[in-house]
Amino acid sequence: MNGVIIECTGGCCEMKSKRFPYPLPTIDRIITAVNITTEAIRQYWNDHIHDLEIARSPVGSAAFFQELATYRYNKLRYLPQQVDFTEFHGKKLLEIGCGVGIDMMRFAQAGAICTGIDLADTSIALAQQYAAHAGVTADFLLMDGEAMLFEDETFDVVYAHGVLQYAADPDAIIRESYRVLKPGGRLIAMVYNRVSWLPLMSALTRTSLEHDDAPAFGTFSIGEFQAMLSPFPTVEIVPERFPVATELHTGLKATLYNDIFVKGFNAIPRPLVRRFGWHLMGYATK
């Protein structure tokens, strides 16, 4: 396959074509990542900013980013509990697939020395605007997480929440994360859980999963995620993201989902359904 990387030197970025092998994914693990180029993935995410449809304010405005952040942490209420954004003051933190920078702003505001990379130039431009609105300093680079240009042992923390499932070669991102982490460095990553309540709900209601039309889209079992993280000697996986009420539904659909399904599901003791969380949070130490 042909890959496209962005080489960044001296503050300037130059796109270069580069051929490098991707191990062939298994059919049940990566649903659509066959003959996918990095350029196709880049173009998709330039055209599909995550959660853009919920924003009402002008794109790039301070209010726009606040709407995206409010929606994200309402939908992912578990995230501030599972990830302590204040923990990495003075640490060098890399976010792979930073998008518009919602999570990175939390790390940067708490004093982390942040670098964000993404394939989509639209995301990088918006992340830079968000940092300016937030009054924080962070570096944002166009770069492929599967073939990063950083030196070995550069970062204390690598954060990859919501990128592995949309990558042509998620194993390459893990290998690269291991390479750029310092000894004792930490990886925080997330993938979608194949054995989860949300794919079942999607099948029953005949509704698509979020961004399942992306060029590469994958779900993983807990065992597969553990195998992916096998370069790391210490690994912990925590299933998370259970149903929460949403404002996206109205009328009868809102009643059925918010008042019946969400309340009914969350009435079940969490230990009984823990393994069915839609997000598998992975914590690994080099």
What does the domain layout of the chain look like in residue ranges? 2-8+32-285
User: What pLDDT, on a 0 to 100 scale, did the predictor assign at position 35?
Assistant: 53
Tokens 């330039």 map to which residue?
A: 46
Distance CA 5, CA 43 (A): 13
- For 113, the enclosing helix (H) or strand (E) is strand 113-118
Tell the CATH superfamily of the 2-8+32-285 domain.
Vaccinia Virus protein VP39 (3.40.50.150)
Model pLDDT for residues 134-193, shown as the tens digit of each residue: 999 999 999 999 999 999 999 999 999 999 999 999 999 999 999 999 999 999 999 999
Residue 160 · residue 189 · CB < 8 Å: yes
DSSP-derived 3-state class of residue 149: coil
Distance CA 237, CA 229 (A): 10
Query: Strand 2-9 and strand 12-19: pairing?
Result: antiparallel
Distance CA 185, CA 177 (A): 10
Mean pLDDT confidence for 31-53: 80
Q: Residue 11 pLDDT > 50, yes or no?
A: no
Its pTM stands at: 0.85
- Name residues whose C-beta falls within 8 Å of residue 82's C-beta, 6 or more positions apart in sequence: 238, 240, 281
Outline where DSSP puts E strands in the chain: 2-9, 12-19, 92-96, 113-118, 138-142, 155-161, 181-192, 234-240, 279-285
Distance CA 243, CA 205 (A): 15
Average pLDDT of the chain to the nearest whole number: 87
Q: What angle do CA 36, 42, 45 make, to 5 degrees?
A: 115
Q: How confident is the model at residue 33 (pLDDT cuts 50, 70, 90)?
A: very low
State both tokens at 160: 């990859």
Model pLDDT for residues 204-253, shown as the tens digit of each residue: 888 888 899 999 999 999 999 999 999 999 999 999 999 988 877 778 87
Q: Give the amino acid at 172.
A: A
Query: Strand 279-285 and strand 181-192: pairing?
Result: antiparallel
Q: How confident is the model at residue 26 (pLDDT cuts 50, 70, 90)?
A: very low
Model pLDDT for residues 62-93, shown as the tens digit of each residue: 999 999 999 999 999 999 999 999 999 999 99
Name the DSSP letter for residue 196.
Answer: S
Sign (positive or negative) of CA dihedral 81, 87, 89, 91? negative
Residue 164 · residue 173 · CB < 8 Å: yes
